[in-house]
Structure 1
Amino acid sequence: MAFSGTLSQLSSLSTISSSLPVSSRRFTLRSLPQFTIKAEAEKEKQSTKAAKSDGETPAAPAKPPPKTLPKKPVYSMKKGQIVRVEKEKYLNSINYLSVGHPIFYKGLDYIYEDRGEVLDIRVFETGEYALVGWVGIPTAPAWLPTDMLIKSEKLVYERL
């Protein structure tokens, strides 16, 4: 149906249709999606009937994979572990060079001789590190790579 009229006539038609009760209006476009959904459902029923008549089992609907939680990292040490630092590895590491101590500096000997406790363990981009605090030494804890730490078997130690 083509409408050939002026703009004022067109606007008057829209006001007339909006004043009509909802039950008297025709909504052919709104009912269209319902028919397509029903038609798709009937096609699916027919395909399953055809598959059953052929002796095939219908394919089960694909279930989404179950949600998996990220795995906890496996650390080489535990919190509370008693450790000390391996001297040769530490002196050849970037950690020692970043401190800027002179060669043969004796102020750090406590990390090789005294016990330290692992306070925290984290995996950074450069590897696994442990936050080590030294028992009885009034210094701040330090993040050290776990590969240069030696696990101590016993808590008893002698300070030289």
Structure 2
Amino acid sequence: MTGIRLTSDELRLMSLFQSITTVTARDCVIDEKMDRVIFIIDKGDMGLAIGRNGSTIRTLQSMIGKRIELVEYADDLAEFVKNIFGREVVLDVKIGNHSSNGKVVTVIVDPRKKGMVVGREGRNVEKARLLTKRYFDVANVIIRGQEASI
């Protein structure tokens, strides 16, 4: 997480997150465009952060007044992308370099689930772009449906 600077609002939200969930957040991103706060947490802390039947996260959402989204951190870019979208919907992650644009991630999904992966108003893709740029200096994230093999 070197080179990432947190604002005082992000630090305050991370402190509140820890006091409510007892989970230490690695990072916090306030996404004004999509009216949400994204917390990056360590692997294995998701259940504790969400709470029984989602009670802990609902409490936090009502206190903050914004939608809360959680992502488990991974050192590996492909694993991190799978954590962002959900392992059950991602079939493959391809990482390439485009000479002019930089690093590009292509996420291969079941074509029937592509809409769910992209999310309403592209919110899931936007989250992936924000986080992969922040941690891995990725220029773009592309979602593709897997073509049926003949």
TM score, norm. by length of structure 1? 0.20
Higher Cα Rg, which structure = 1
Relative contact order higher in (CA < 8 Å, ≥ 6 apart): 1
Larger helix share, 1 or 2: 2
Q: Which structure shows the bigger proportion of residues in strand conformation?
A: 2
Calculate the TM-score normalised by the size of structure 2: 0.21
